[in-house]
Structure 1
Amino acid sequence: MGILDSFGALVSSIIASIVLLVFAIVSFFITVFIVQVGAGLAGYSPSGDYIVLSAAILATGAIVAGATPMSSLAGVEE
């Protein structure tokens, strides 16, 4: 049963990686839309490369912040 358990863990981690990748891509597209609308509301018309760069930085920051364990900041011990 050890091999089947290992195979199940491998498949579940692959599925989790695919789901996280899809969520990251969706998050990036939503951030591109928000940055573009926000720049328009502020009266700016930046080129597409600056919009994509700022959206990539914001999406990366959100993903890294979501993956960072916050228990050390709250004083909670595991």
Structure 2
Amino acid sequence: MGFLDSFGALVSSIIASIVLLVFAIASFFVTVFIVQVGAGLAGYSPAGDFVVLSAAILATGAIVAGATPMTSLSGVAE
């Protein structure tokens, strides 16, 4: 039964990785839209590569910040 349990854990890990990758891509597309609209509202018309670069930096920061445990900042001991 140990083989089936480990196989199930492997499959669930692969599915979780795929779901997280899809959410990361969706987050990137939303961030590209927000950066492009924000630049347009500010009166700027940046090139596409700068929009993608800034969206990539913002999306990466959001993903890393969401994955980082913040328990040390809250002052609550586990």
Both structures adopt the same fold (TM-score exceeding 0.5):
yes
Report the AA paired with residue 6 of structure 2: S
Alignment deviations for residues 14-53 of structure 1 (CA, whole Å, 9 cap, x no partner): 0000000000000000000000000000000000000000
Taking only aligned residues, the RMSD between alpha carbons, in angstroms, comes to 0.6
Report the AA paired with residue 42 of structure 1: A
TM-score, length-scaled by structure 2: 0.97
Aligned to 2:43: 43
- Give ranges in structure 1 of 5+ residues lacking alignment: none
Report the AA paired with residue 4 of structure 2: L
- How many residues are matched? 78
- Give ranges in structure 2 of 5+ residues lacking alignment: none
- Whether 1:55 aligns to 2:38 is no
Runs of 4+ in structure 1 deviating by more than 4 angstroms, as ranges, are: none
TM-score, length-scaled by structure 1: 0.97
> What is the correspondence of 1:12-31 to structure 2 with a 5 Å cutoff?
12-31=12-31
**Aligned equivalents of 1:24 and 1:76: distance in 2?**
29
The offset of 1:76, in angstroms, is 2.4
* More displaced 10-residue stretch of structure 1: 65-74 or 45-54: 65-74
